[in-house]
Structure 1
Amino acid sequence: MVPRWGQAMPRKVHGKTGNTYFKDNVEIFGGKGHVHKIPTSKNWYFRTWIDEEKRHLRQSLRTTDLDEATQKAEKLLVEILADVSKGKKFFGITVEQVAKEFLDAELERVETGLIKKGRWNTVKTQINRHLVRYLGPKTKLGQLDHNSFYDYAQWRRKNTSSVTETTIRNEHATIGSFLKFALRRGYINFPYEMVEFEEIKIKEKPRRDTFELEEYDYLTRYVLPSWVKTESKRSNSNMMAEMRKQFIRDMFLVMANTGVRPSEVWQLTWGMVSIKDYDKKSKQTLVELDLPASITKTARARKILCRGGQYFKRIRTYSNWLGDDDLIFVNNSDGTPISKSEKHRLWHEFMEFAEESGRFKLGDRKITYYSLRHWAITCRLYANVNIFDVSQWAGTSVQFIQDHYGHVDQSKQKVNALKSFTVDEHGYVEASV
């Protein structure tokens, strides 16, 4: 059987006459490549030694004419030498190896500002934690075909019961990018567009979990102040723990009033904040946030005027780091960012404290830092702020708000349906709740 492109050469076979397996050998480029025949075919073949992989590479030239075969072989050898210089592997590159190359290439896009580091972290999780495990890290990419990914969705559901259909659909998109990369590198021989995925049907866009009005009032009036003063769990210094709790308390209130994303609020510096004077008419201290593209999820700068200036004022009374380039939410001892693990630990501690108070129950809801952004958006919609203005203020699309906050419109419709109407003597409709 004739080996296929990319397979190892068969061992030389010596007959009675002493001839090798190869016949009519013709060297090209000073012996870097060879044009030859084999006993089982009339066509000419090409072979070259890939020193980096210590194996011969062979391909049929599909012609019986030596001149045509030589021209094809010379062109092919030039392409192979160029690929070798770029580090391309011709024999059995594994899923694990291509995953690393793909993530390295995506990291370069982070460095040039094409994607955010947060997006790269998401892709890294999708590839390393899920795709590589699904295919097997040592699986050769050459073994895959366009049907190899159809069962991925079902595999994800079986291995992670809480995974959503939206998450799986997003992972399908990342797999498509991974395969497109592999095709460009020559690691697969089927177009990524041909890959078949299970169709994902999302019947209803997920609602964003957040607080009820009474819950928010209770948490901010009673629970937050009490929690800040309690002894923190798993902390070596109660003074340091209480200081971090103060930052978390004010971060809670800042996010609930400004609607900025967690990734944005953690990167806020004092140079991005302009606290306005107290407005007697609205009884509010407004604040203007000038968010540069470098910290926003959409990589678009936005400037927002919102409530919550008093919380920034309070932070300035206890923070040791007030320079324009200093982060607002920091470890007060050295000005470094609060670690991700510490942020999550403090949030879970606060949620546990709130539930232990007896008047707040999480139930099946997934309440996180992001829920504060959802709360801020929901409040603006309930206040009848134009949906376009909300989208601009929140840094997201109108379609996204319509998809994920439709329940707000339904609640408003219910209020409208319960209104009673009267017509005055001039024919004007008057409404009363």
Structure 2
Amino acid sequence: MSERFEVYDGEIMIYKTTGSGDVWQMRMWVGSEKKYVRESLRTRDKSEAIEEAKRRFLNYNHLIKNGQKIFSITTNELRQRYLVHVEELVRSGQLSPGRQTNIKTFTKHYIQFIGKDRKIANIDRKEFQRYRAHRQKDKSDIKMSVVVNESITIKQMYKWAENEGLISNYVPDFGVIKVPKDDTVRDGFTIKEYIQLTEVASKWYQRVPKNFLKFEEESFYRKSIRDFILLMSNYGFRTGELMLVKYKDIEFKTGKRADVHIPAANTKVRKSRITGGLRADVFQRKSEYSKPFNKLNDYLFTGYGVDSQISRYVVYDYFKKLVNEVKEKYPEYDTTKSLYSLRHFFITWHLTIGKMNVYDLASVAGTSLKQIQDHYDHVSQTHRIDEMLSYSKNRRIDDNYQMISIDEELSKD
């Protein structure tokens, strides 16, 4: 310090340093947090510096008396630090990329709700009781099960912050969020919707104008979303799982069959599995128009002209564009169905036709029997009873039937 002066009997010190030039600084001890506040007073005038230091002292003391912390990271800093931690978990194989995507989305909603520049230590935990209403206002048809999942993720972020010493004895209070009994029912495509979607998708790439500036790139992505849809619906992938499939994971069998090995690191439940289907032609076709990035260690779905994994945003963007095309041709088409709804379609299809053991279905889809029961048991009970009663020894199903081609069966109708 090149010069210093005490204010309020030493409660505050204003000073200059050799590095600050003539600008006055202030230092104030916060006993409750055992740290000094050090700030520039942004003035070279001593009298102005004293008055500004007094003003800040009174302001800080008001905050302290009201139980607020002076030293705390902001909500946005919390989220960014937590996402770095999550990224490390993904790299070490402790967390799936799909779960990472959900965490990014859920914590983004947290920032939109609470604000990005607030200090986490100064937020009343009961303020989170407004979260449910906020999400319903933002998205009127949101399921309460989704809100609950988001709240759990936010609590996990705060628990991590506590373990890191960024906060103490703090658990966000979301109050009671009641989840209706049928809230977790999954909405899959109806057969009519699926036919409409795949019909438009099959020829969509042919509608790219020849004089389009990026003709090849546009055609590539339109073909890619077409094949993404077919593989989702015929193999029961989760979206993130399919995006991570590499050519080395595909095993071609005889005829139309191809199996796909899904490593534990790529799954939501951290358990490897094999899924299969009768659409080997889709994998072969994808390999042809993806040259030269179709080597064993390349991703099945890549960006245009690169060997890196296709962007999730590109996949969703092209699906949205395709849905708009379907809606234009079929005005009654339900545009609320998502890419993930194709997985629901795969599961409900096999439940509905009643020709696949539910245990095998859970295994192939990479989910639990409870999940099947809780999320998919709304399919037509009458239809399943009809199938059961019509079953006979003469209709025994071979080992490959569980890997039925949905598209081939629909084409027979």
Q: 2:150 matched to which residue of 1?
A: 171
In structure 1, the partner of 2:129 is 150
Q: Distance in 2 between matches of 1:218 and 1:135?
A: 41
Match of 1:96 among 76, 84, 87: 76
Q: Percent identity?
A: 26
Which whole-Å CA distance do the structure 2 matches of 1:100 and 1:123 have between them? 11
- 1:139 counterpart residue number: 118
Measure how far apart 1:160 and its partner are: 3.3
Distance 1:49 1:322, change over 3 A: closer
1:190 is matched by which residue type in structure 2? N
Which residue number corresponds to residue 35 of structure 1? none
Aligned to 1:406: 377
SS at match of 1:294: helix
Q: Which residue of 1 aligns with 2:338?
A: 368
Please say if residues 222 and 318 of structure 2, whose CA atoms lie closer than 8 Å, have aligned partners that are also in contact.
Answer: yes
Tell which deviates more after alignment, 321-330 or 233-242.
233-242
Distance 2:101 2:261 in 1: 25
Structure 2 partner of 1:202: 180
Q: For residues 282-321 of structure 1, give each alpha carbon's deviation from its aligned partner in whole angstroms, at most 9, with x where no partner exists.
A: xxx1111111123222222112232211222333343313
CA separation in 1, counterparts of 2:148 and 2:210?
Answer: 39
- Partners of 1:232 and 1:242 within 8 A in 2: no
SS of equivalent residue, structure 1 residue 324: coil
The structure-2 alpha-carbon separation of the partners of 1:252 and 1:105, relative to structure 1 and needing over 3 Å to count, comes to closer
> Given that residues 330 and 336 in structure 1 are in contact (C-alpha distance below 8 angstroms), is that contact kept between their aligned partners in structure 2?
yes
Bigger RCO of structures 1 and 2 (CA < 8 A, at least 6 apart): 2
Cα separation, partners in 2 of 1:355 and 1:13, compared to 1, 3 Å: closer
What amino acid does structure 2 have at the position aligned with 1:347? F
Match of 1:319 among 274, 280, 290: 290
Structural RMSD (CA):
3.4
The AA in structure 2 aligned to 1:204 is: D
Change in CA separation of 1:54 and 1:371 when aligned onto 2, cut-off 3 Å: same
Post-superposition offset of 1:327:
1.8
Q: Which residue of 2 aligns with 1:80?
A: none
Code of the residue aligned with 2:143 in structure 1: it is T
Change (3 A) 1:209 1:233: farther
- 2-structure distance, mates of 1:257, 1:227: 20
Question: How many Å separate the matches in 2 of 1:112 and 1:172?
Answer: 25
Q: Is the 8 A contact 2:245 2:299 kept in 1?
A: yes
Cα shift readout 1:30-84 (whole Å, capped 9, x = no counterpart): xxxxxxxxxxxxxxx9899746x439xxxxxxxxxxxxxxxxxxxxxxxxxxxxx
Partner of 1:274: 251
Residue 210 of structure 1, CA deviation: 2.8
In the alignment, structure 1 residue 121 sits paired with structure 2 residue 101: yes
Report Cα offsets for 1:321-373 as digits up to 9, x if no partner: 33101222234533343333432332223222223334x6323x522222222
Give distance in 1, aligned partners of 2:240 and 2:209: 24
| Unmatched segments (≥5 aa) in structure 2 | 1-5, 12-29, 40-68, 391-413
Residues 1:240 and 1:105: Cα distance change in structure 2 (over 3 Å): closer
Greater helix share, 1 or 2? Answer: 2
* 2:374 counterpart of 1:394: no
Number of the residue aligned with 1:383: 353
Gaps of 5+ in 1: 1-10, 15-19, 22-44, 56-88, 279-284, 421-433
SS at match of 2:201: helix
Q: Is the 8 A contact 2:131 2:174 kept in 1?
A: no
How far does the alpha carbon of each residue in 1:144-163 deviate from its partner, in whole angstroms, 9 at most, with x for none? 34423222222222233343
TM-score normalised by length of structure 2:
0.70
SS of alignment partner, residue 254 of structure 2: strand
